[in-house]
Amino acid sequence: MSAEQAIATPTVIDFRISETQKHPQRMSKVRELLADSGLEMESDISHMVEALADNQLVGCAGLAGNIIKCVVVAKAFRSENLSARLLTELENLALQQGHFHLFLYTRPCNEVRFTHCGFWPLARSGSEAVLMENTPQGIRRYCRQLQALRQPGERIGAIVMNANPFTLGHRYLAEQAASACDWLHLFVVREDASFFPYNERLTMVRAGVAHLRNATVHEGSRYIISRATFPSYFLKETGKVQQAWSEIDARIFRDYIVPTLGITHRFIGSEPFCAVTRQYNQTLHGVLADKAAVVELARLETAGNAISASEARRLLKTQQFSRLREIVPDTTFSLLQKRYGAYTETA
């Protein structure tokens, strides 16, 4: 065989799937490969597809639920369309796990490459991050579902809440918004990345606003982006991570949800405690300015202190039920009482 023939011979690439928790040695190699590209391993990745040439790791792609993360190819193999082959292997794995609708976060400089692999851009944050999905019909299908729930009126409000748990502060915000609008759309963040699982939070919200006759509680969707599940492996600075998440979430809301439901006002609570949420509120003011008015209401207080979900969680963990009852509605307290222990007057 001549030297020219040897060079022309395509490299044989083998693929294997590893459960990240069961193969620490393999993941050590994955981390080294990611580090070579200035990336870090995401802790929520459950499975990793590895590309091997002569038993050497030359590419990888990770799966965390229905989110693709940490796609990287060694520099020497970037001319062999290996990214597309990794994504095909990963999509097959996702299908086996019941995930048909996939999302991918990457740097905008990689957008064209992933577009060629069958992904479509949804929203971006400057030069920092872009969110893509594996179908052009995903966001359109979601908007068609929302369209069926559109209500008439000149003032249509919206609230997005995590409700972890649903407090008197959440109820106050919903009541104020509903009284100021012809109709209120209330979205509950879907991801199970909170102290209370999604189904419990949704139940608490529905029970807590059942008295509002001009409100629709929407089941969360993948298009209401959770801060807890937003990837950070390609953004080194915490501030950039938070800003990218804020902008992508706000732009999806502005470009798709606002026009579909005819939303004119987005209601938010002031944030005296969390700097990240304050930044998010500021982003909403900027991104939504020309599409919907952002109305920021002062937090409801009790005994001179602003009510917060974090305080409710603290009181629950320390079994201070008497104080907990002062900051959550009866509907929430009833659920907490059933799950976390009987309430007593002396507790």
Does pLDDT of 1 surpass 70? Answer: no
The residue among 5, 43, 45, 48 whose CA lies nearest residue 30 is: 48
Give domain limits for the chain.
Answer: 3-100, 146-304
pLDDT for the residue numbered 238:
65
Angle at 48 between CA 241 and CA 68, to 5 degrees: 40
In the predicted model, what is the mean pLDDT of residues 284-312?
93
- Extended strands (E) in 162-264: 183-188, 215-218
Q: What single letter denotes the amino acid at residue 169?
A: G
Region of poorest pLDDT, from 99-108, 218-227, 236-245, 310-319? 236-245
CA distance 297 to 263: 18
pLDDT band per the 50, 70, 90 thresholds, residue 277: confident
CATH code matching the domain that covers 3-100, chosen among 3.90.1150.10, 1.10.3720.10, 3.40.630.30, 3.30.479.30 = 3.40.630.30
Distance in angstroms (rounded) separating the CA atoms of residues 10 and 294: 57
Cβ atoms of residues 295 and 267 within 8 Å = yes
Q: How confident is the model at residue 11 (pLDDT cuts 50, 70, 90)?
A: confident
Give the pLDDT confidence score for residue 217 in this predicted structure.
Answer: 98
Report whether pLDDT(188) > 50.
Answer: yes
Q: What is the pLDDT of residue 130?
A: 93
Q: At what angle do helices 275-287 and 238-252 cross, to 10 degrees?
A: 40
Centre a 10 Å sphere on the Cβ of residue 273 and count the other Cβ atoms it contains: 12
pLDDT score at 314? 93
Q: Partners of 312 in the beta sheet? A: none
Residue with tokens 């209601």: 267
Residue-wise pLDDT for 98-119, tens only, equals: 999 999 998 899 999 999 999 9
Chain segment 44-70, per-residue pLDDT in tens = 999 999 999 999 999 999 999 999 999
Task: State residue 2's pLDDT score.
Answer: 46
Of the ranges 37-41, 191-195, 225-229, 284-288, the best mean pLDDT one:
284-288
What pLDDT shows up at residue 7?
46
Q: CATH topology for 146-304?
A: Rossmann fold (3.40.50)
What confidence tens digit (pLDDT) does each residue in 248-258 have?
Answer: 999 999 999 99
| Whether the domain at 3-100 and the domain at 146-304 fall into the same CATH topology | no
Window from 76-85, 245-254, 290-299 with minimum mean pLDDT = 76-85
